[in-house]
Structure 1
Amino acid sequence: MARNKGNRSGGTPATVALDRAGVAYTPRSYVHDPAVASYGMEAAQALGVEPARVLKTLLVRVDGALAVGVVPVDRQLDLKAVAAALGGKRAELADPKDAERSTGYVVGGISPIGQRTSLRTVVDDSAQAYGTVLVSGGRRGFDIELAPGDLAAATGATYAAIARR
């Protein structure tokens, strides 16, 4: 995987952040179908990638404060586990409008990278089993493929078992 020279991806905040940090990644675009309800599963199918390698970004409120949970698209975020991983007692999914306002991205295109406001982030530990994973690149129909360690470094994330089937 080479650093994205020339920023073929269209310069989303996520790609700009990765380029500035010198992180190697591969932009992966596909045609988004607005009728599809599961953005992550759509990406996995369109890109021909195992769903466990495609990660979705979910904003949560842990004891009232916004945070980010990143889990495989074929699993659900375990709210108790993400609260515990962040040292909190209670977590709930954030309101979509709050998520968009905080991150600067639209739902279905929220990237864990390059968010407007830096939030505490937890990536499900299953991501470490793969050489590369895919996350939203900052818009629907655009993902970024990168090493899990680079994802954690770019977001300041920790790893924990936060996903359930």
Structure 2
Amino acid sequence: MFEELTKLLRQENAKFRVIQHPAEGSSAKVAEIRGTLPGQGAKAMLCRAKGVPGIFVLAVLSGDRKVDFRKVGEVVGGKKASLVSPEEATALTGCVMGAVPPFSFWPDVRLIVDPKLLESYEEIAFNAGRLDTSIVLNSRDYLCIAKPLLADIAVQEDEN
């Protein structure tokens, strides 16, 4: 996945940098290691929506926000979404949970990004198919290359 992703970014002349780091489970610690803010982290969660069989959703939002699973389901015409199992995520993407990048290379996976991630930061950061490697990518380049559906999928901040 890492090689496929960096090849795509180079082909598209994207502004990005690769950061090697220890595998870390905490978003805040990874952000500190990367030298980025927690909100710059593009948290990618693979979901399935009730009522929409055969379609998966890669929901992407700022690392400091929470996903609203009801909103995710509604965006794809279904009911409340839920995370797929770690085994299913690995089988579908080839990446372990937490390392899935905010890109969809899979035809059955719809990419939905909360626009606040891209509006708030010039660069986004994410694990690049591996837990020990991150990419920091220009937000505009991400939008042009990934071509996500933009939709409000985060819990409203006053609901937290």
Identity among equivalent positions (%) equals 25
47, 52, 56: which one aligns with 1:66: 56
1:1-165 matches, cutoff 5 A: 12-33=3-24, 37-38=25-26, 40-62=27-49, 63-64=52-53, 65-113=55-103, 115=105, 117-118=106-107, 119-127=109-117, 128-164=119-155, 165=160
Q: TM-score, normalised by structure 2?
A: 0.82
Determine if contact 1:60/1:91 at 8 Å carries over to the other structure: yes
Alpha carbons of structure 1 residues 11 and 84: separation in structure 2 relative to 1, 3 Å:
closer
| Equivalent AA in structure 2 for residue 123 of structure 1 | V
Determine if contact 1:41/1:51 at 8 Å carries over to the other structure: yes
* Structure 1 residue 66 displacement after superposition: 1.0
Determine if contact 1:136/1:143 at 8 Å carries over to the other structure: yes
| Secondary structure of 2:128 counterpart | strand
| Equivalent AA in structure 1 for residue 153 of structure 2 | I
* Structure 1 residue 11 displacement after superposition: 5.0
* Structure 1 residue 94 displacement after superposition: 1.1
Alpha carbons of structure 1 residues 17 and 86: separation in structure 2 relative to 1, 3 Å:
same
Determine if contact 2:21/2:133 at 8 Å carries over to the other structure: yes
Alignment size in residue pairs:
151
Q: TM-score, normalised by structure 1?
A: 0.80
* Structure 1 residue 114 displacement after superposition: 6.2
Kindly report structure 1 stretches of 4+ aligned residues shifted beyond 3 Å: none
In structure 1, runs of 5+ residues without a counterpart are 1-9
* Structure 1 residue 162 displacement after superposition: 1.1
| Equivalent AA in structure 2 for residue 55 of structure 1 | A
Determine if contact 1:121/1:157 at 8 Å carries over to the other structure: yes
Alpha carbons of structure 1 residues 87 and 150: separation in structure 2 relative to 1, 3 Å:
farther
Determine if contact 1:55/1:70 at 8 Å carries over to the other structure: yes
State the distance in 2 between where 1:48 and 1:25 align.
14
Alpha carbons of structure 1 residues 120 and 140: separation in structure 2 relative to 1, 3 Å:
same
State the distance in 2 between where 1:133 and 1:44 align.
11
